[in-house]
Amino acid sequence: MPYWCARAAAGCPCRSLARVGISAHIARLRASVGHDLLLVPSVTVLPFDEAGRVLLVRHAGHHDGWGVVGGAIEIGESPAQAAVREAGEEIGAEVRLVRLLDVLGGPDYQVSYPNGDHTAYVTAVYAAELAGGVLRPDGSEISGLAWFAREELAGLALSRFARAVLLATRHL
């Protein structure tokens, strides 16, 4: 769910009014802690096609390169359920999770959003394949998407988070 800064009504001095996708739970936390660093459980989905290419996305409002599909796990949701939901929301297609690749965290998995929010993710990374639906960016969180062969990834402009995921899962 996109939102403007959760503290805007309280006169938050953030410099950016960029939209950020966020759950109601995280929005409530942000209303209390502002832009301070939050540790958030999340998922990353790496969809692969029959040719072995990985689907990467452009996150709206970010200009740090290609990123990965994923997001926060919501209360009462398993990581696998979150992965399927996030993929459906962001890329419009249903995915079938193939396997859990890794669980990652640390400095490379911290993100600063255009609205000033700082988040440290601990992410469960899944390999997936498309299972239905129409592949398309959601237009809110995701502004573009494309398939990339392994040999294209090394020279590609990637976000720090995406590069860390691809390196840790040996796809880069």
Q: What pLDDT, on a 0 to 100 scale, did the predictor assign at position 25?
A: 84
Q: Whole-model pTM?
A: 0.84
Q: Which two tokens stand for residue 159?
A: 């976000």
Question: What are the angstrom distances between the C-alpha of 143 and each of 66, 88, 113, 135?
Answer: 11, 15, 15, 12
Query: What would the pLDDT profile of 78-133 be if each residue is shown by its tens digit?
Result: 999 999 999 999 999 999 999 999 999 999 999 888 888 999 999 999 999 999 98
Does the structure show a pLDDT above 60 at 144? Answer: yes
How far apart, in whole angstroms, are the C-alpha atoms of residue 123 and residue 30?
20
* 99 CB-contact burial (10 Å; exposed 0-12 / middle 13-18 / buried 19+): exposed
- Alpha helices (H) in the chain, listed in sequence order: 24-33, 79-91, 150-153, 160-168
Q: What pLDDT, on a 0 to 100 scale, did the predictor assign at position 18?
A: 41
**What domains are defined for the chain?**
36-168 (3.90.79.10)
Q: What pLDDT, on a 0 to 100 scale, did the predictor assign at position 1?
A: 34
